[in-house]
Amino acid sequence: MYSLGIDIGSRNTKIVIWNPQERTIIWQGYQSTEVSALAAVEKLLALAASDCDLSKINKECVTGYGRKLYNKADKVLSEITCHASGCYELFPAGRTIIDIGGQDSKIISLEPAGGVKDFVMNDKCAAGTGRFLEMTALRLECSLHELSTMADQSDMELQLNSTCVVFAESEIIGLLAEGNTQQNIAHAVFMSIAKRIYAQMAGLSLIPSVVFTGGVAKSTHLKKCLETLFGTELLVPFEPEISGALGAAILA
């Protein structure tokens, strides 16, 4: 029998179908949450049904920003618990998790056995989240993938002084008007996010190995910036977007 993990995020909804006997992922997928989180879940399950037998699912667990909207699950768990479980499954040596999503960021310390030791969370400000990158890509007229590639080509350190996305947008417009390159501005934005995460870590002890997860972990340039500030390598899951859903499926 299988278990189903659902992670309803503010930007994307993710699901994982898990075989607990073989400890393998049977199916995984995600799509934009859009207006209806429940519709997003149903669309993903319809896609999964073409590849695997959904009748074998006998347990469900839901997590994420919109977890209270889904009332069919056997369990409802926090993102902290589920990300810890998912990341520990993928990286048993992991002791610190940096999770950056579309609207929030979390840093989680793990016990050696994988339990949550401590955590800090920022869900009040978008300056250290994917929303900042989306705004920057819009202003620089490029995709999120191109933004990371662009930042790799920077040749000067620019300083972003604003700690708010709204004011940072005005600052970016000003930097463009001054003739600064898109490459240098992109790098400055990534470093600004990395510094916010570094400051967020102040309340916790950084213990290697460090796992970098969440949709923003797909940004190779942000990974480099974080590694520079923290002075250690970051481990990134094969599909960082689904770590919470994987943890939910494991804990179902």
| Same domain as 126, residue 245 | no
Choose among 77, 53, 50, 65: nearest CA to 2: 53
Q: Looking at the structure, do residues 72 and 182 belong to the same domain, yes or no?
A: no
Helices (H), strands (E): how many in the chain? 8, 10
How far from 106 is each of 27, 46, 116, 161, CA to CA, in Å?
Answer: 26, 31, 12, 23
Say if residues 146 and 127 touch (Cβ distance below 8 Å).
no
**pLDDT digit string (tens) for 115-132?**
999 999 987 676 778 888
Neighbours of 236 (CB within 10 A): 18
pLDDT in tens, 51-64: 999 999 999 999 99
Residues 71 and 169 in one domain: no
Query: How does the average pLDDT of the chain come out, rounded?
Result: 92
Residues 82, 104, single domain; the answer is no
Answer yes or no: do 208 and 126 share one domain.
Answer: yes
Per-residue pLDDT at 26: 97
Q: How confident is the model at residue 241 (pLDDT cuts 50, 70, 90)?
A: very high
Same domain, residue pair 56 and 151: no
